[in-house]
């Protein structure tokens, strides 16, 4: 297993390199970069105006919005954003910084990217870990019970709930909860935005805990409603497949109780596929779920930071968040494989030549 882990760790390096290279090449041809935006702002300050919706040219061409600026000022703007160097040199400098986790400085927030990520990380971690924990606590027992009572009243009645949860997007649940319970058209039981209250620092310990979960209630409920259906189905059909195997029939024939069969024999095998889906679930929550939740509930996390960076073409922040999430995803997949073998020692990735 040690050899397999070392191979996977070494594969992280070329994977990160290729992902950064592809995305770096894409943003080079995307219009409306930071240099174009800076030139437009300079033109507006000079009172010359820029017509809305006009397409900007690439960095290496004559800018449509730069006609009122001197060539020296345009070059100075390009130097400030690092675009006075060739693309391959900029990419090499970025990789050198990434070796020491130096992601550069944000173009528009005037802060190091590492500092921005550190400031936003608590919100994203709070949402991701709590929501994942709650989704698993709801989905696994529900999926097991549906598997045990397949085709019965409980299974059929809860299937409607799962269909609704699976069909309605997460952000739609968030909007509905805001309208009903956060001062929309009905009740104002929960705060509209933020992770904590303004007077959080003055509160006692238990008051801080209460205030924190009071603010987290609607975001977490939204993420659970939007994410529990898929995992419940996965758990149900995983257990149903195991319940039909020969070793289960043999255990029942020996007179073992249903709970002994289920949790003593079936549970370990059936949970393998559920554990295998944990990295994808976490990445989906952090990438997609957190983004919508942070926007809807105005929570200042990494998802919202990445979204703002894309709209502003803040390349250091874009690549910093991309690097962080990609590294997190690769590590989580490796942890998932290790947990596979911990749960079932019969699985040996090395002898199978797994990559």
Task: Identify the three-state secondary structure at position 112.
Answer: strand
Q: What is the pLDDT of residues 163-180, one digit of tens each?
A: 888 788 777 888 888 888
What is the spatial distance between Cα 19 and Cα 68, in angstroms, rounded to a whole number? 38
* Mean pLDDT in residue range 30-55: 57
The answer for residues whose C-beta is within 8 angstroms of residue 345's C-beta and 6 or more apart is none
Beta bridge partners of 188: 182
Q: What is the mean pLDDT of residues 85-100?
A: 82
pLDDT digits (tens, 9 = 90+) for 35-46: 666 666 666 665
Yes or no: say if 192 and 174 are a contact pair by the CB < 8 Å rule.
no
Backbone angles phi, psi at 133, to 5 degrees: -60, -45
Q: What is the pLDDT of residues 292-304, one digit of tens each?
A: 788 788 788 887 7
Model pLDDT for residues 195-214, shown as the tens digit of each residue: 777 777 777 888 888 888 88
Q: Looking at the predicted structure, is the pLDDT value of residue 160 above 80?
A: yes
pTM: 0.70
The yes-or-no verdict on residue 60 having pLDDT over 50 is: no
Go through the domains of the chain in sequence order and give each one's CATH number.
Answer: 34-100 (no CATH), 114-343 (1.10.3720.10)
Q: Which segment of 112-116, 135-139, 311-315 scores lowest on mean pLDDT?
A: 311-315
Express each pLDDT in 211-259 by its tens digit.
888 888 888 888 888 778 888 888 888 888 887 788 877 877 877 777 7
Per-residue pLDDT reduced to its tens digit, 181-190: 876 667 778 7
Question: Is 266:239 a contact under the CB 8 Å cutoff?
Answer: yes
For position 346, what pLDDT does the model report? 66
pLDDT tens-digit readout, 335-346? 777 776 776 666
Cβ burial, residue 66 (10 Å; 0-12/13-18/19+): buried
* pLDDT for position 81: 62
| pLDDT at residue 294, as a whole number | 81
Q: How confident is the model at residue 349 (pLDDT cuts 50, 70, 90)?
A: low
Query: Which three-class secondary structure state does DSSP give residue 197?
Result: coil
């Amino acid at each position: 297993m040690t050899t397999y882990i070392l191979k996977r760790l070494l594969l992280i390096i070329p994977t990160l390199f290729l992902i950064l290279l592809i995305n770096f090449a894409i943003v080079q041809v995307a219009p409306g970069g930071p240099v174009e935006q800076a030139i437009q702002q300079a033109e507006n300050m000079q009172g010359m105006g820029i017509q809305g919706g006009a397409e900007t040219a690439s960095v290496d061409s004559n800018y449509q919005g730069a006609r009122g600026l001197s060539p020296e000022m345009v070059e100075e703007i390009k130097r400030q954003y690092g675009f006075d160097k060739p693309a391959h040199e900029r990419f090499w400098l970025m990789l050198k910084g990434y070796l020491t986790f130096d992601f550069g400085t944000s173009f528009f927030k005037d802060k190091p990217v590492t500092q921005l990520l550190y400031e936003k990380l608590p919100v994203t971690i709070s949402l991701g870990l709590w929501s994942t924990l709650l989704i698993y606590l709801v989905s696994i027992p529900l999926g097991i019970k549906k598997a045990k009572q397949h085709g019965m009243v409980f299974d059929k009645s809860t299937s409607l709930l799962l269909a609704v949860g699976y069909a309605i997007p997460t952000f739609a649940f968030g909007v509905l909860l805001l309208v009903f319970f956060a001062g929309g058209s009905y009740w104002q039981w929960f705060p509209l935005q933020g992770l904590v209250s303004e007077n959080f620092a003055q509160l006692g310990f238990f008051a801080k805990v209460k205030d924190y979960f009071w603010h987290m209630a609607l975001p977490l409920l939204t993420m659970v409603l939007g994410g529990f259906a898929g995992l419940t189905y996965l758990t149900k059909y995983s257990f149903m497949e195991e319940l039909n195997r020969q070793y289960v029939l043999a255990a029942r024939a020996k007179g073992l109780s249903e709970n002994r069969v289920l949790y003593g024999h079936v549970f370990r095998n059936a949970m393998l596929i559920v554990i295998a889906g944990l990295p994808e679930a976490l990445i989906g929550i952090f990438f997609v779920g957190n983004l919508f939740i942070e926007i809807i509930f105005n929570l200042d996390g990494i998802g919202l930071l990445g979204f703002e960076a894309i709209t502003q073409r803040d390349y250091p922040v874009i690549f910093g968040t991309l690097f962080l999430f990609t590294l997190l995803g690769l590590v989580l997949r490796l942890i998932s494989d290790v947990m596979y073998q911990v749960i079932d020692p019969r699985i040996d990735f090395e002898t199978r030549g797994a990559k």
